[in-house]
Structure 1
Amino acid sequence: MAIAIIAEYNPFHNGHRYQLEYVKKHFPNDKIYIILSGKYVQRGEIAVASFEERKKIALKHGADYVIELPFNFATQAAHIFAQGALKIINEHKIDKIIFGSESDNVENLYKIAETIYYNQEIYDKLVKKYLKTGLSFPNSSSKALSDLTGESILMPNDILGLEYVKAIVNNNYPIKAYSLKRTVGFHSLESKDNFASASLIRQMIFNKEDISKYTPMQFDNVPDRIENYYKDFQKIVIETSAEELRKNPMISEGMENLFKKNIHAESYDEFVNKCNSRRYTSSRIKRVMLYVLLEKHKEKENDEN
Structure 2
Amino acid sequence: MNATGIIVEYNPFHNGHLHHIKQSRNLTDADIVIAVMSGHFLQRGEPSFADKWLRTEMALQNGADIVVELPYAFATAPAVDFAKGGVALLAALKCRALAFGSEQGQIEPFLATYDAIEGDNATFQKNVQHAVKSGLSYPKALNSAYSQMTTKNNGSFADLTQPNNILGYHYVEQIFKQKSAMQAVTIPRIASGYHDHILAGTTIQSATGIREAVFDGSLQDVEAFMPASNFSLLQQATLMNWDVLYPTLRYMLLRLSPSEIAAHAEVTEGIEYLLQKAARTSDTFTQFMTRIKSKRYTWTRLQRMLTHIYTGFTKAQLIEASMPHYIRLLGMTENGQRYISAHKKEFTLPLVSRVAAFDDPMLSQDCKATDLYYLAQQRAPGEDFRRPPIRI
CA contact (8 A) 1:35 1:69 kept: yes
For 1:233-292, what per-residue CA distance to the aligned partner results, in whole angstroms no more than 9, with x for missing partners?
223223333222211122112221332343323321222233222221111111111111
Deviation at 1:33, TM superposition (A): 0.8
CA contact (8 A) 2:246 2:285 kept: yes
CA contact (8 A) 2:278 2:288 kept: yes
2:183 counterpart of 1:176: yes
Deviation at 1:180, TM superposition (A): 1.1
2:292 counterpart of 1:282: no
> What CA RMSD, in Å, does the superposition of the two structures yield over aligned residues?
2.2
Report what 1:200 is aligned to. Answer: 209
Q: Distance in 2 between matches of 1:74 and 1:251?
A: 17
Q: Distance in 1 between matches of 2:19 and 2:150?
A: 33
2:299 counterpart of 1:248: no
Partner of 2:196, secondary structure, is coil
Segments of 5+ residues of structure 2 without an aligned counterpart are 152-156, 314-364, 373-392
User: Residue type of the partner of 1:195?
Assistant: I
Report what 1:267 is aligned to. Answer: 284
Alignment CA distance shift 1:258-1:110 (3 Å): farther
2:213 counterpart of 1:187: no
2:183 counterpart of 1:167: no
Partner of 2:22, secondary structure, is helix
Partner of 2:224, secondary structure, is coil
> 1:157 pairs with 151, 164, 170, which one?
164
Q: Distance in 2 between matches of 1:116 and 1:241?
A: 42
Deviation at 1:222, TM superposition (A): 4.7
Report what 2:51 is aligned to. Answer: 50
Q: Distance in 2 between matches of 1:57 and 1:233?
A: 29
Q: Distance in 2 between matches of 1:232 and 1:3?
A: 40
Partner of 1:213, secondary structure, is helix
CA contact (8 A) 1:48 1:202 kept: yes
Q: Distance in 2 between matches of 1:249 and 1:291?
A: 6
Instruction: Give the TM-score taking structure 2 as reference length.
Output: 0.72
User: Residue type of the partner of 1:291?
Assistant: H
Return structure 1 stretches of 4+ with deviation > 4 angstroms. none
CA contact (8 A) 1:113 1:169 kept: no
CA contact (8 A) 1:3 1:31 kept: yes
Identify which range, 168-177 or 154-163, moves more after superposition. 168-177
Report what 2:348 is aligned to. Answer: none
Instruction: Give the TM-score taking structure 1 as reference length.
Output: 0.91
Q: Distance in 2 between matches of 1:112 and 1:46?
A: 32
Report what 2:130 is aligned to. Answer: 129
Q: Distance in 2 between matches of 1:173 and 1:149?
A: 26
Partner of 2:6, secondary structure, is strand
Segments of 5+ residues of structure 1 without an aligned counterpart are none
Report what 2:239 is aligned to. Answer: 223
For 1:46-66, what per-residue CA distance to the aligned partner results, in whole angstroms no more than 9, with x for missing partners?
212222221122122111211
> 1:214 pairs with 225, 231, 254, which one?
225
Q: Distance in 2 between matches of 1:71 and 1:236?
A: 20
Partner of 1:19, secondary structure, is helix
Deviation at 1:79, TM superposition (A): 0.9
Q: Distance in 1 between matches of 2:130 and 2:270?
A: 19
Q: Distance in 1 between matches of 2:260 and 2:285?
A: 22
For 1:21-61, what per-residue CA distance to the aligned partner results, in whole angstroms no more than 9, with x for missing partners?
22233333442111111111112222122222211221221
